[in-house]
Every structure is written in structure tokens, then in C-alpha cells.
Structure 1
Amino acid sequence: MKNVSTREPGLHKGVLYAMLAAALFGASTPFAKVFVGQVAPVSLAGVLYLGSGVGLLACFLVRALVQRGQVGQPVALTKPDLPWLAGAIAAGGVAGPVLLMVGLSMMPASSASLLLNMEGVLTAMLAWFVCKENFDRRIFIGMLLIVAAGALLSWEQVPVLGVPWGAFAILGACLCWAIDNNLTRKVSASDPLQIAMVKGLVAGIVNIAIALAFGYALPGAGTALAAGAVGFCGYGLSLVMFVLALRHLGTARTGAYFSAAPFVGAAISLIMLAEAPGATFWIAAALMGGGIWLHLTESHGHEHEHEAMEHLHAHSHDGHHQHEHDFEWDGSEPHAHPHQHVPQRHAHPHYPDIHHRHRH
């Protein structure tokens, strides 16, 4: 048995990506609310997604020009990735927003906000029990604390749901986004900028088409540009960070950290409104902090076996990537090429990343 340490010193970069994703998405929520009274919800969803896709397309083209001819190009989406990505877009970029708009039309916004916190729970449930991603009691309790904090921040009144069709629609939207998160993990080794760009463009075009089909007006140029900028940061850049986190942490842990987004949004809302936070805010902050601490201090390590496999992603020659090259290599890292992993057994701390999705 060979002991290999692959844990980076300090805060794991996957955690940083997940927290950045949560911060960007959470910060966008108060700004997006500014447009709610001006633009129909379906039209607004389309403009936010399209702003995300167009902004990332510009970044994608600039990067291609800057990096032309350089070694270590990002790994483009491949043909086997397309069914997973198409499913993620259909579930999270099309069905999810439509179900959300249906639910919002049938129930109070405060009740809908409370139910939206089910996305993190359903994401983790699918990851743990369908995709067989590992977890332990510590991670489970941390997840519960984070979700409870988000629920507290959303609670403004005792929900009165009446006939539960609206609630079913909101829960359906959460399930769609949970499916989206788990399907996106399947392609997380590919270029995250390209993944987020395609999702934004397709979801934006489809949602705008739905809005036009139902007779909703599109916003004026100024409003569209402002909403598009919010979408670029809160949906586009946030999704790039989310995909990177999926690559390094797995779905459930990324979803748990991303559940911190309501706290970021609430904090920014308080600053924008110049309000003093009440007791609920500080209780939620304590729960959120406790849940994140449980995740940050996780140490999961045991003897495990890597089966032989071949795949393609950007990598450096660490303990999991000791292979020969059948081409001339100048030693620059990270680089990307199809490579084989030979069977090996070793022990070290690890997350359920793209190399550690083994059974326990």
C-alpha cells in the first residue's frame, strides 16, 4: 500500500469555488428583485440566463484568442458529454424556471422562498442515495444546519398554502434543479466556461421564446442590459465556479456550500436597505456558520482502490497522475490529454471528486 497525500494546505480550492458560487448567486438576488416589478417573471428569467450566456460567450472568445497555440488548453465538451448536458439544461434551465413561475402565481412569495430551500436537500438526497456519493453523520448534520439557516432567512410568515398545487410546482422546480446539479457533475471534468456558456445561451433563448409565446413583453434596452449584467455575474460566473466545485467536491458537498447563498443575499439586502439585522438573522448566521464549520473541518480518509480507467481533463502529475506521454511534452502543467489510470490502492484524505467516486 502506498500513502499519497493529495490534500492541499489551507482551505481546499473546491470549497473556495463553492463559496464564490454561493456569494455571486446570493449577491445577485437583491439586484434581480429590482426588476421584478418592471419585467414579467418569465421574461426576466430569459434575460438573466441570456445575459449569462452572452457574457460568457465573450469571455470564451477572448480566452480562445489569448491562449491560441498555448499548451494546457481547457478540455472542450465531447460527444459523450452532450446527453448529460442536454438533460441538465432541460431540467434546470427550462423546466425549473417554468415550474417556479407557475408556483409563484399560485402561492405567497414568502412561502415559495421557504420551499426553494428544498433544492439543497433534494440535491444531496439524489447525490447520496441515487448517485451513491459518500457521506457521514458530520456532513449530514452540517447540511441540515445550512438548510435550516436558509429556511429561517426566508421565513416571513406562517405559510398558508391552501390547495397545494403551487407548493407542488415549487417542489418540482427544486427537483429539476437538483437533477440539473447531479447531471452537471457528470460533465464537470470538461471546460466549465463552455458548460456555463451553453447552458446560459440555450436556457435564455428557450425562456424568452416561452415568454413571447405567452404574450409577455420584453424589457427595454436599458433594463435588459442591467438585468443581463446581473445574470452574467449571478448566473454565469457563479455557474462556472459551481462546476469547478463539483469537479473537486462532488455534488452534495457543493450543494451544501451553495446553500449559503440566501445568507449572502440577506446580508446585502440589509446593507442596501440600511436596516439593522434582527434576531432571526443572527440565529441563521450561527446555524450557517456551524454547518459550514462541520464541512470545512471534515477529514475523510481510508484505504481505497482505484480501478483502471481512461479519461480526459486538465491535470498535473500528482499521486494520481503518474503516466507516460506518447507525445513531446515540455513539462508545463497543468495540461490536458487522454490518459490512463492504472489500478492502485492507497490511503489519503479525499473528497468525492472526479477520481474518488468509489463505493464504501
Structure 2
Amino acid sequence: MPVLIALGSAILFGLSTPVAKLLLGETDPWMLAGLLYGGAGVGLLIVYLFARRSEARLASGELRFLAGAVAAGGVVGPVLLLFGLTRVSASTASLLLTLEGVLTALLAWFVFKENFDRRIAVGMTSIVAGVVVLNWQPGVTVSDLLGPAAIVAACLAWAIDNNLTRKVSLSDPVQIAMIKGLVAGPVNLAIGLLAGAALPGASTIAAAALTGFLGYGVSLVLFVLALRHLGTARTGAYFSVAPFLGALAAVPLLGDVVTVQLIAAGALMAIGVWLHVTERHEHTHEHEELEHEHRHMHDEHHDHVHDGRVDPHRPHSHRHRHRRLRHSHPHAPDSHHRHSH
């Protein structure tokens, strides 16, 4: 189930890239970024107010991580992407976005100390090789590199966002994504208006809002859920299928040409993603005693006692304590498996 959740997030975001490219013909990048995130925020606000869920609320100590994630992923990242889309094809941009998973993994491994093995490292190398093939152009100028460089910078912003969001992933994912949209949307709209841009027509606003709700809002909710169960680097690896879907959709939507270079780059990236998603990690490990709150059902990691008012076999959320436990089973570096190796 966590893998399907991560892939669902990737599908929604991947399909939003060529749609955003179409909308760029109707509005300014800053304005479009604001409409995309505004649509995500407003749509999720409706879900937050009316849908019944059992999730932990954000704690005050988590707000600094969420603020950093909003700034990097909600303001800086989308504007860099949309600027890059004005200078490169949607299919090229979609494949370049595979770098988000690589940069997410690098930060998770070397800054946030998430474990990795040789298979994952080889997969990352294959993805990077695909990016090099994709952008190799003899006699390239600095101007030619501005578009790809902006998209790579967007990937770095989202990689920072992903790792900071991992810090709050046990909290309500709808609340997290809603706050990001409600902050990032107005900020980007304000910047666009101050820069002299005008709001587009009603049909463009509606299309951007719907695209933002699905491709940024719902996608982010699923991404946070996947972070909770798979860890940052593995979720980023699964999410790396998004650019392939975006590149595929750009061919009929925008008339992009399928070239040998594009196919070769895509093949290298596909090998890298396959190595990531087929990893199996199992060894004897020990869980330290831990107390926290999140949505859960009772399993081998959750065997605490309830009073008669809570059904332990249905999802519920409350503060609970994990006893010290030593065992072996396949696992990812999720919220309960952050041990050293």
C-alpha cells in the first residue's frame, strides 16, 4: 500500500507538468505558481473542514520545519520550474525533474543520516547519467543552460522541502498540504502582481486551480503519507516515475518530438528507478523506547492497551508509547525504523 500511495502521488504530479506548460501561454509564471498552490490550498481546506479523519494535529515544535518546507517547496521551487518551462520543452523538463529524487536522497543520506546501500547508490548514478545524456549539446551556451539550470534548482528546493516535510509526516497530511497551499498561493500571487503581471481569464484560473488541487495538493497529501511509511529517499525514488509520465503526456498534449537522446536518457533513468523500487532491506534491529502520536492500527509495533472506547483494529490517533523491541523483518527507514546501521 505505501508503494501505491507514492506512485499515486507521482502520477498526479507528473501529469501536472505538461498541463502547466500549456497554461504558461496564458499567464505569468509567478501568477501561475500562485494559482496552482492556491487551488491546492482552497481545495484541501474544504477537505479539511468536511472530511472525517483520525490524524494527529501539528505540534508547535514542528512548525519551523513546515515553515522551511513551505518556503523552499511552495514558493521557490514552483517559480523556478515555471521559469525553466519557458526555455525548455515539457518532455525535457519532465525528465530533468527526476533529479528531485536524487537530490532528495543525497540530503536524506548525508544531511539527515537516513540509511542507504550500494543498490540505491547505483540507481542514483544511473539517474544522473540519464540527466547528462538528456542535456548534452555540443557548443552549448550559457543562455541555453538557463532553463535546465532553473529546473535543477527547483529540484533542489523540493529536495529540501521533502526532507523537512519528513520531520512532520506523522501529523495530518491534509493539514500540512493545506497550509503549504494557503501560504504559498497568496505569496506567489502577490509577487506576480507586484511585478506587473495580471490575472488571466476565468477559464485559465479554473484550470490552474484544478491542476493545483490534484497535481500539487492531493499529490502532496499522498507524498506525506508515503514519507511516513517509506522514509525520504525511498519515497523520492518512487516519486521519480513522475517525470516519465510527464514526458509521455507532453508528446500528445504539446507535440514534443520523441528523439533517440530522449529515449536513451529515459532508459537510463528507468534503470535507476527500477533499482530503487526493487530494493529489499532486512536485518535484525532494535527499537528504542519511544513516545509519540500518529494515526495507526495495532500491529507488532503497536501493541499498547486501550480502554473499551477505542477499536484497536481500526485507524485511530492518540499519544502512545512503544516498548523496547528487537526483531527482524523487511523494512524501510520509516517513522519507526530510524536506527543506525
**1:179-198 alignment, distance < 5 Å:** 179-198=160-179
Q: What TM-score do the two structures reach when normalised by structure 2?
A: 0.89
Report what 1:123 is aligned to.
104
CA distance in 2, matches of 1:210, 1:148: 36
CA distance in 2, matches of 1:21, 1:53: 16
Q: What TM-score do the two structures reach when normalised by structure 1?
A: 0.84
Match for residue 92 of structure 1 among 68, 73, 82: 73
How many Å apart are 1:96 and its aligned residue? 2.8
Match for residue 58 of structure 2 among 54, 73, 77: 77
Report what 1:109 is aligned to.
88
CA distance in 2, matches of 1:119, 1:295: 14
**1:144-183 alignment, distance < 5 Å:** 144-149=125-130, 155=135, 157=137, 159-161=140-142, 171-183=152-164
Match for residue 2 of structure 2 among 14, 31, 53: 14
The residue type equivalent to 1:109 in the other structure is V
Query: Retained in 2: the 8 A contact 1:133–1:352?
Result: yes
Report what 1:7 is aligned to.
none
The residue type equivalent to 2:286 in the other structure is E
CA distance in 1, matches of 2:163, 2:8: 19
Match for residue 249 of structure 2 among 268, 276, 282: 268
Match for residue 35 of structure 1 among 23, 30, 51: 23
CA distance in 1, matches of 2:98, 2:54: 37
TM-align CA RMSD: 2.8
CA distance in 2, matches of 1:314, 1:74: 5
CA distance in 2, matches of 1:182, 1:220: 36
CA distance in 1, matches of 2:272, 2:97: 19
CA distance in 1, matches of 2:255, 2:80: 33
The residue type equivalent to 2:340 in the other structure is R
User: SS of the residue aligned with 1:140?
Assistant: helix
Query: Retained in 2: the 8 A contact 1:123–1:252?
Result: yes
How many Å apart are 1:124 and its aligned residue? 1.1
Structure 1 pair 37–103 and aligned structure 2 pair: CA distance change class (3 A): closer
Structure 1 pair 123–55 and aligned structure 2 pair: CA distance change class (3 A): same
Query: Retained in 2: the 8 A contact 1:190–1:313?
Result: yes
Structure 1 pair 220–102 and aligned structure 2 pair: CA distance change class (3 A): closer
The residue type equivalent to 2:291 in the other structure is E
How many Å apart are 1:211 and its aligned residue? 0.8
User: SS of the residue aligned with 2:23?
Assistant: coil
The residue type equivalent to 1:247 in the other structure is R
How many Å apart are 1:285 and its aligned residue? 4.6
CA distance in 1, matches of 2:101, 2:83: 20
CA distance in 2, matches of 1:20, 1:151: 27
Match for residue 349 of structure 1 among 325, 330, 333: 330
How many Å apart are 1:165 and its aligned residue? 7.9
Report what 2:219 is aligned to.
238
Q: Is 1:51 the equivalent of 2:30?
A: no
Report what 2:49 is aligned to.
61
Deviates more, 1:275-284 or 1:46-55: 275-284
CA distance in 1, matches of 2:109, 2:186: 33
How many Å apart are 1:262 and its aligned residue? 1.3
Deviates more, 1:303-312 or 1:265-274: 265-274
Structure 1 pair 353–74 and aligned structure 2 pair: CA distance change class (3 A): same
Query: Retained in 1: the 8 A contact 2:73–2:157?
Result: yes
How many Å apart are 1:314 and its aligned residue? 0.9
User: SS of the residue aligned with 1:131?
Assistant: coil
User: SS of the residue aligned with 2:169?
Assistant: coil
Match for residue 226 of structure 1 among 207, 225, 232: 207
Structure 1 pair 115–20 and aligned structure 2 pair: CA distance change class (3 A): closer
CA distance in 2, matches of 1:175, 1:294: 22
Report what 1:141 is aligned to.
122
User: SS of the residue aligned with 1:34?
Assistant: helix
**1:332-347 alignment, distance < 5 Å:** 332-347=313-328
CA distance in 1, matches of 2:128, 2:240: 6
Deviates more, 1:135-144 or 1:344-353: 135-144
Report what 1:250 is aligned to.
231
Question: Deviations 1:267-291 (Å, cap 9, x if unpaired)?
Answer: 1122335788444454345334433
Structure 1 pair 191–294 and aligned structure 2 pair: CA distance change class (3 A): same
Deviates more, 1:36-45 or 1:281-290: 281-290
**1:268-307 alignment, distance < 5 Å:** 268-272=249-253, 277-307=258-288
How many Å apart are 1:151 and its aligned residue? 6.0
Structure 1, unaligned stretches of length 5 or more? Answer: 1-12
Query: Retained in 1: the 8 A contact 2:11–2:245?
Result: yes
Deviates more, 1:161-170 or 1:17-26: 161-170
Report what 1:314 is aligned to.
295
Query: Retained in 1: the 8 A contact 2:99–2:127?
Result: no
CA distance in 1, matches of 2:272, 2:18: 24
The residue type equivalent to 1:236 in the other structure is G
User: SS of the residue aligned with 2:208?
Assistant: helix
How many Å apart are 1:293 and its aligned residue? 3.0
How many Å apart are 1:318 and its aligned residue? 0.7
Deviates more, 1:20-29 or 1:143-152: 143-152
Query: Retained in 1: the 8 A contact 2:238–2:277?
Result: no
CA distance in 2, matches of 1:101, 1:285: 22
How many Å apart are 1:74 and its aligned residue? 1.9
Report what 1:5 is aligned to.
none
Query: Retained in 1: the 8 A contact 2:21–2:85?
Result: no
